[in-house]
Structure 1
Amino acid sequence: MNGKITREQWERFLESLAADGSLLQASFSAPRSKDGTLSRKLSVRPVKLKNGLHYQFERLLDNKAYHENVGPEELKERLATAMQSYKQALIKTSDEDIQVLANKKGELALMSRASGGKRESEPQTHNRSKRYILPEGVPVPYLVSLGVMTEDGKVLKAKYDKFRQINRFLEMIADVVPDLPQGKPLTIVDFGCGKSYLTFALYHDLAIQRKLPVRIIGLDLKRDVIETCAKLAEKLGWDNLTFSVGDISDYDGRDSVDMVVTLHACDTATDAALLKAVGWDASVILSVPCCQHELFRQISQPALEPLLKHGILKERFAALVTDAARANLLELAGYRTQLLEFIDLEHTPKNLLIRAVKTGKPDREALSAEYERFRDFLSISPYMERNSRLMSPKS
């Protein structure tokens, strides 16, 4: 079943899920309400309880997870209610993955694809292992080529952290897909793409899985790395994934970009990438900063001397101040900005991701006053503010 469906077809589909017990996982995202009453994401999975099969609904509100277990007889109604509150869902069964999209009128469209092999449909116990967007045991060609998976889909032990990082990245991508422009080819630039694990993951998710018209450009200074990535893209037949050698601040290869990704660009290279994104009026920005040195040399505040006199504390504090300044300047430029945990701190100290979505004109007066107090208290002059009129609180 692919394409638009009627309400009757949707209800019959939900009835079959509840009747045959084939549901392995359902994820609802892109809430219709922006008032904070809905969780950013709703997840559903089967669980074994003492009194039999149930389905656990997990909601995330204010960074806290809330769980509710319901019986099979309630499943159809609860899934139907959930779809009324969200714009999209991904439903995984033992045979297929079904993506459900809802438009503003509430009309539904289904896109189905085979799961790549019969999956185990036995529900997990209450304390189960985490399910990933890219499941273990199902070979993904680009992950095999990049040495993350074996030919039979087993994740290599040495690459398991990278596998988790890729899946975390894809969860964040799923949240912003509704914020990308609709009905037009998308252009995405990945600054400092490196070995491009996440660049390939992004293309696979958007172009291959979601069938979106997208062109992705990876940019990095290392010519040998870029050549390797280009060869892999050619091997995979991904014509709209290209790679170029170049510097972030000098790049002017596009007039319009819909999404900018910059992961682990060092120090002010992150700021340069963010300024490029704002200059393009990009709809979505995803950035994982690295090596924030600039403000370490600037911060001065006598009241904080008990903290600043210790080098390691000052370094950590300066990194937080840098990302706070970036987030606030992006808000001044008209973006809804969040700072999120990208990967567990135990795996990397560079674990903050800045996610910014273009919303329009901000309340500049209130934001400017708040930012200026923060900036002046610490005697800092951030790169982004110095190098762009768009970022100036006075503009």
Structure 2
Amino acid sequence: MEFQEMKEYIIEQALSKQLISATISQPRAKSNEIKRVKLKPIEIKNMYHIQIEYQYERVLKHENIPIENFAESLEKLFDQYRQMHADFITEKVQVQLSKKNKVMWKSEKTASSKTVNLSHNRKKNYLLDEDTPYPFLIRLGVQTAEGKVKKQKYDKFKQINRFVEFIDDALAYLPKGKPVRILDFGSGKSYLTFALYHYLKIEKGIDIRVTGLDLKKEVIEECAMIANDLGYDQLEFLVGDINDYNDETTVDMVVTLHACDVATDMALARAVKWGASVILSVPCCQHELNAQLNAPGLDIMLKHGLIKERFAALATDSIRAEILNLVGYEAQLVEFIDMENTPKNILIRAYRNGKKPTAEQFEKYNHFKQMLNANPFLENELKDYL
């Protein structure tokens, strides 16, 4: 079977709604961060779609494609990968492609026709189950006393679970054989601080000591009382500013959520200086670069205040991530579900790997910074590490 003939056959099977499931693997390029792709048909609002699940090393992302648009997506996947296992209603197919697209094809007819499950609205498998009572969620008003998620708190419940997913992803990077020290700057009402403590201490049995730090005295007092009521004896809450907290020499994980403007940079810089293995940061308002921007080539964009604000925020987080890459971290910008449903839903995730940056990395960073006329606060804070 020729390459084009194979593609046309697979596409025809998919478009005729014969697909049950498929796995596409073996990226052609080593630089491809998506290691595996899974396909399955689903029904959304009575419309047939193919769901594409992109499997990164530690993250899954989904895209739902209407059936009429699926051929183009599948064509692109065959250009990027060399292997496919597909399960259709009446046959199983295995495809292996050489570097020059020579096709090795294996097909096996099934004894009886299978059925396709188009269910999309099945209950999501959250790390914190929505039907299980959790004392901290009950105490924080997310669940009822019976352990049911309150309807008006469901967005918070989803956000908490999304954050727990990030914590679970980070487990491999936390030190073993010693207590894990964790600091949460700008902890606020501490929904996520309590979730972090519960997941690591109660569910995973890890020896941790967690400190939540915030400037609002009444909020800190309330959180401290809840921690005491729950018996969370390795969780403390303190009133204080990020810049003034000097009680540690080494910290394993630093969390910072919605710290305004350069307060996020202060927390990131402090995390690097402590040698934190894991950094999770959701930035808030970002004014520094907005005031510095001077890029004539971007005037068509930046003359609009709204666009300038959003561009500055995205560029700021890109700069932060790149600086972390330059000082020995693997940093990514990932989507985060925000409790307040605002556009500020980017999370900076960084794992310490100790790698030395290349000259090319520095050159690209400096070129980007100079193009924007940026003088990043975080770079100045970490100048001794760059």
Aligned 1:116-265 pairs, distance under 5 A: 126-127=119-120, 128-265=122-259
| Uncovered stretches (5+) of structure 1, i.e. residues with no partner | 1-34, 48-55, 72-123
SS at match of 2:341: coil
- What percent of counterpart residues are identical? 52
Alignment coverage as a number of residue pairs:
296
> Which protein shows a greater Rg?
2
Aligned AA for 1:179? Y
Amino acid at match of 1:304: L
> What does residue range 89-128 of structure 1 map to in structure 2 within 5 Å?
126-127=119-120, 128=122
2:256–2:267 Cα contact (<8 Å) kept: yes
C-alpha displacement of 1:348? 2.1
Name the aligned partner's letter for residue 368 of structure 2: F
SS of the residue 2:309 aligns to: helix
1:337-386 Cα offsets, whole Å, 9 max, x none, are 01000017992211000000000132242221110000001101010112
- The amino acid of 2:119's aligned partner reads H
List gaps (5 residues or longer) in structure 2. Answer: 1-29, 43-50, 65-84, 89-116
Say which of 285, 293, 301 aligns to 2:287.
293
Match of 2:271 in 1: 277
Moved more, 381-390 or 345-354: 345-354
Q: Is the 8 A contact 2:260 2:284 kept in 1?
A: yes
Q: Does the C-alpha gap of structure 1 residues 219 and 344 become closer, same or farther in structure 2, counting only changes over 3 Å?
A: closer
TM-score normalised over the length of structure 2: 0.71
Which is worse superposed, 208-217 or 248-257?
Answer: 248-257
CA 300–277 in structure 1, closer or farther in 2 if over 3 Å, else same: same
State the alpha-carbon separation in 1 of the partners of residues 202 and 247 from structure 2: 25
Structure 2 CA distance, aligned partners of 1:175 and 1:354? 14
SS at match of 1:323: helix
**How has the CA–CA distance of structure 1 residues 149 and 129 changed in structure 2, closer, same or farther, with 3 Å as cutoff?**
same
Deviation at 1:138, TM superposition (A): 1.1
Residue 182 of structure 1 aligns with an amino acid whose one-letter code is K
Deviation of 1:131 (Å) = 2.3
- The one-letter code of the counterpart of 2:229 is K
Mapped contact 1:330–1:391 kept (Cα < 8 A) = no
Aligned pairs (5 A) from 1:21-60: 60=55
| CA RMSD, Structure 1 to Structure 2 (Å) | 2.8
- Residue 355 of structure 2 corresponds to 361
Measure, in 2, the Cα distance between the counterparts of 1:178 and 1:125: 35
Residue 135 of structure 1 aligns to a residue whose secondary structure is coil
Q: Distance in 2 between matches of 1:262 and 1:132?
A: 23
Corresponding letter in the other structure for 2:325: E
Structure 1 residues 303 and 164: alpha-carbon distance in aligned structure 2, compared to 1, 3 A threshold: same
CA distance in 2, matches of 1:358, 1:40: 22
CA contact (8 A) 1:57 1:69 kept: no
What is the deviation of 1:182? 1.1
C-alpha separation in 2, matches of 1:40 and 1:342: 22
- Are 1:207 and 1:214, in contact at CA under 8 Å, matched by a contact in 2? yes
Q: CA deviation at 1:65?
A: 4.1
Is residue 320 from structure 1 mapped to residue 314 from structure 2 by the alignment? yes
Distance 2:126 2:135 in 1: 17
8 Å contact 2:163–2:192 — kept in the other structure?
yes
Q: Shift of residue 136 of structure 1? A: 1.3
**1:304 aligned partner:** 298
SS of equivalent residue, structure 2 residue 242: coil
The separation in 1 between residues aligned to 2:175 and 2:296, in whole angstroms, is 47
Distance 2:227 2:159 in 1: 21
